Structure formats: C-alpha cells, structure tokens
Structure 1
Amino acid sequence: MNSRMIAAALLPILLLTGGCWDQVELTERGFVMGVAIDLAANGGIELTAQIYKPQQKAGVGSSNQGQPYANITTVNSNIFESVRDIPTHLGRRAQWSHQRVILIGEDFAKKHNISEALDFFNRDHEPRQTSKIFITKGKANQFFKKKPLIENTISQQLKRIQESTAKYSAKSMNVNLFMLNLQLESQTGFAAVPYISPDNSQDQSIALKGLALLKNGKMIGALSPIQTEHLNILLNKYKNSIIEIPCEQQVGGNHPLDESLEVVSLQTKIKPKASMESIRVHIAVQIKSSAGELLCSDLSTTKGEKKFIEKVQLLVEQELRALTDQLQARKIDMLGIGNQIYQMNPRLWRSLKPNWDDHFQRAHFTYDIRISLIDTGMLIGKSSVSK
C-alpha cells in the first residue's frame, strides 16, 4: 500500500519534469539540402554539402540579403570522416533528414563503385532514401555554385527537374537512393541514373542529358535524352510525352518538319523465353494517343488514318529495335531480361549468369507495336499546312 501511495505521489512530478535531455537545438544544426561527391586530387573523396541558411528580417518591409544556402567542402578518405569535419567549417552539426539530392561526379563514378560512397547514406538513420540521385558531367560540386532559377536552393531545383522531366517528357528517370540500391543489388547489376551537365547556352541553367549507365556500381556509358525516351517505353515507365514523326517530304519551307503524337497511355510487356541454347524476347507495346501537330498527314478519312497509324507503328518499332541492338552490342542488359529469368527459373539463371553478357548479346527480339488514335485534336483531321 505504501509503495502505491509513493508512486501516485511521484507521478505528477515525473510528468512535470519530463523533457528531451539529449535534444539538439535548431541553432546547433545545419540542415543539408544536397551533397556532391567528387574524386579529390589526392585520390580521396571530396564531399560538398549544401547547407540551408535561414534568412532573418530586421523588420517589416526589409528584404533578405544573400543566398539562402552555404556550401561546405571537406576532403577525406571516406564519407563518414568528411561528414564529421563539416562542423569544423560550419560551427553546427550536419542534419541529413532534409536532404534532397546526391550528386556524384563522372570521374568518381567511372573509377569507384558508387555503392561504397553511398554506404553512409544507407546505414545512417538520418539521410532520406527518397533523395534523388544524379551523375554529373564534370565535377559534381560545380552545380552547387549555380543560382536556382525558381526554388530557394539548387538542390531543391534539381529534385524538381528530375521529377518533372520523368513525368512530362520521359527524357529522364525518377531515381532515388532506394531505387538505385534495388538496381545495384539485382541479379544483373545494371543501373540507370539521370545524367546532368551545365547548359553552356545559359550560365545558370542545367541540362538533363539522359541517363548514365552503371554496371556493378561503375559508370560504363550513357544514353541520350531520345534514347532515354525509348528505354522508358521498353521499361513501361513512359508517362506523358510526345512521339515525333518526320514528314516524308519538305513542307512549308527549307527545313524538314516533324509531326507529333501525344501519348495518352502506354503499356509495355516484355516476355523472355530462355534456355541454355537460346534467349528469345517478345516485346508488346500498346499506345493510346491523340494528334498533337499534323503538318503533312490527312486523317479525315479512314484510309488516311490507317496509313498514318501504320507509319507511326513502324517508326516506334525501328526506334526500339535500334536501342535494343545498341544495348546488345554493348552487352548492357538495361531491360532486366536476366532479372526476369531469375524470377521465372532460378536454377536456369544460375547456369546462365556467369556468361550472361554473351547470352544477352545473342538474344533474339521480336516486336508487336499497336497504336490507336483516340483524338485528332480538331473536328477535322487534315494537315494544317498546305502541300
């Protein structure tokens, strides 16, 4: 009875005195928005962290001065030691829970397995697995010197660029840390990461240049933005974009013109049939579309519409075949054929895996492209340019 009375008396005191004894105040933290990883001159790791810098107003009507971020660079033999050196420059502990992007320089990605550099971000509890990943042409930290066009920091702008480009133009992919880890740990070990470079035509602009291709964590090549569109079709990741169809003859001037077809929906299925003797892959693509620009085609008749659809189907097949031919020539299974075979028949895959690059190179591909036109965009489907 006495122990119960004592506990009852102490309970209100405990509630009143509770608190976070190990709490770190906001003024002791530096919130990392992005991080750039480069190859240092001494062969080590050059890490640059972009820290958000809160802006204070002296009073009503006053404006913020200076840029709302600071870039801190440290050089060490590993990421963790570089992170621990940030307070020696900043005077605050680095906080990683608001991280937006991870940029990896091309030289580093070609010489090092990037999984080793990303190990800290996978093990530590603070960094977000949703952080966007980029491979950069030239040094990664050069992008942190650019001023954002519309966002508060270039890190946030890069995040939005990746998301919007993947969603609206299919000329890149939406790849975060978690997705990259899944790719690197797959049976084939191939991965694709958005590839960016400075835009020489505009000082502060950044251009997405398609995809950097990785094998076993190292960069082995790249795909152009157009090739990236085709890869997105093959991987069933094509959201909203435009198919350009060249006119067969010149129209309205000396420069060749392209018509356009807006993709409303797209579904791709890849079905491999494998044995030790041969690999056969069937690719079926179904596209629902609407006319975007008609400069040299006439869709006002059933015959004209059929001719136009057949032309586009042939064009799409040629483009997809060209990409798969190139991937086969370079022995890069970015289509995940090996991963599918592993899921269907693990025993067969164990026999194929040691020489999978050669098996993939010899694989036979067939295509079934079907396009339906659901809207011409006008009451009439005639060309808008006189022939």
Structure 2
Amino acid sequence: MNLIRISLLVLTLVLAMGGAPGQARDATSPLLAEEQVPIAILVDIGSGQILFERNADRRFVPASITKVMTTYTAFELIKSGKLNRKAVFTVRPETFRQWRRKGSTMFLSQDSRPTVEQLLHGITTVSANDGSVVLAEGAAGSVEAWTTLMNENAQAIGMTNSYFANPNGWMDEGRTFVTARDLTRLAASMITRHPELYRHFVGRTEYRFNGITQNNHDPLIGVLRGADGIKTGFTYEAGFGFLGSAKRQGKRLVMVVGGADSPRIRRDAALEFMEWGFDGFENRYLFAADQEVGKARVQNGSSFSVPLVGDGPVRISVPKGSRGEVTARIEYDGPLRAPIASNEAVAELVVSGEGIPEARVQLYAAKAVEVAGPVDRVLNAVMSWFG
C-alpha cells in the first residue's frame, strides 16, 4: 500500500487572552546573551513547541550530559526485561584502576559489587564516571557493546546529529558529540517512555554510597519551582552545559544551555531561561481529555475510520497577551492499515497561528480496529466508492 500524507483541517478559533499584550517579554527576542551562552533551546514537550532556540543544531561536546543517554539506555533495557535493577555487577580490576577517583565518582572499591539500582543512582545524582563504565560492562559485556546500544537508541528517537563513543562523557577528542535539539528529544523520550523510572532516579538532591554522601550539582533543583533534573556537564573542551526540565500546571518544559564560561553563568542562564518559559507563555486548552479531536481513515479495517484523542487534554503554549486566530489540522500517513491497537500513536495535531510557535501534538487511536472480515470489506469498498 502506498501511504500519502493526509492533512485534515480540524478547527479555526480566535484566542482571546486575559491581560494586555506586552505583559511578558517578547517571545521572539533573544533571552540570553550569545557571548555568554552560545547554545540554547527551550521546548514544551507536551505540545512539541520550540519556544526559543539558538544554534540548536550546532554540534558540541556534551561532557557528563552523555550520562543521560546511558541512563536512558538502561531504562530501555529495564522496560524490555533485559536488565534487572537488582542485578549485581562486579567491578573489574582494570576498570577500578582506570576510573578510581577520575573526575566525578561514586567511590566504587575494587572488590565492590554494586546493584544496577545503586549504579543508576550514582550516575543520575552524583555523575559517577566509574559507575557508568561498570554499568556498561556489566549490562552489555563491554563499553563498545554498550555504546552500540546507546547509538541505536539515539537513532530510534531521532537524535540524527549525535554520536556517543563512551558511556560517561569523558574527553575523547570530540568523538562524542550532540546538538541541543537532539538532547531535548532524549529528555522527552526519557520522561514520556519511562515516567516511573524518571521520577525514581532523576532529580534527587543527594546520594549516599559506600559511607559517602554527595550532593547533586543540578543548578535548578530546590531553586526553581517544579524543577526535577536532569544533568549538568563540564569539561575544559565543552564548557559548562545543562539539560534541565521542570513541570508546572500540566506543562513540562525541557531546556538546554551549552558552552557557558562558568558555573555561575550556567546557573543564572538556566534559571532565567526556564522562568521566562513559564512566565512568558500560558496554556490554552483545545480539547479535553478523551475528547475526540477528529478521525483518521483506515484501510482494510473493521471500521472505515478511527477516532483520535490526545494523551490527556490537548494544550498549547501561547505568548501572554496573544490575540488572534489559530488553525489546527490532523496529519498522518494514511490511510492507516488495520489492525490498529487502542492508544496506538497514529497521527499528529498541528496547530499554528501568527506569533505562536508551531505545535505538534501526538494523537492516539481511541479504540482498536481489527482487520476487516468479508462483510466489513464490502462495506469499506462501498464507502470508499462514495469518498
């Protein structure tokens, strides 16, 4: 079957906002001085809107932010049943000698036998270089096999301009690189695919292991309301970077700042950036939870079409004070082919309007559609004949 991109207009509406225009900073103006923070992006992951970006596709060295992909790879293995959080890995003598007190560490001893649970806490909270390597070797057999998994996962979630050559972000002559846009894809995938694991492992203020308590160096946790992670990074080669996330009033924002000259600049920029995202935009709800957004055509199914809904209320971010018209349309590659599972992601709602960042909201099948039986095929053929 040859699929075509189908676009169906759903609605056109006028946004009537409370408050006068100009209350918030102009959403299109630069937020951060480029000489201080050359790389930046802010994304509303619920609506898919890019609220701000600067050099978002410029490659840079992620340093310890690399560990987010190691964490995500572990989450994927846990979800698939290939990695048990209670599994115990032995620290190899060679690994101990190479990574003992090298950069950030969880102080694994040569004879220690940490669990996957402990290693992940060490990686996410105290940025353990040693823990990252022990996890990689224990779960995949070698660092090389682990980085293969990292890169496969990166490609699967659309990180097309990134590459990982090691599990912890240690300097490797630039072989490991990412873009800010790709990092927001990684954060969004981690949060939406593994919400329970994300809440359990990410965002803790400290971690105690081997009798040593260490603090998380996340600049926003405990400072910015709603902040819950994710990871800082620093090398002399990369400068100071941060991949962060926060949630307020049903809206989750993910941000990246990269290439800052100092931890103070990184902290101040991250705080200002995220506050701007929450204060400068407000929620507008287009559809309630479980409200049908539209229908998608189905070929060879027990139904000629399938109703589409959002994952909860369908919401977009609009600059405060915005007034004007927005249009929303459904896009999907179709007609869809049966069978279709209930809650299967099958389409997108694309919302656009003057001065509003384009939104792309995932839509799901509200019910299952089985393969058509003989009678259904006849009815589908008749309906198709009449368009």
TM superposition score category, shorter chain reference: under 0.3
Taking structure 2 as the reference length, the TM-score comes to: 0.25
Structure with more contact order per residue of length (Cα contacts < 8 Å, sep ≥ 6)? 2
The structure whose residues are more often helix, as a share, is 1
Name the larger-Rg structure.
Answer: 1
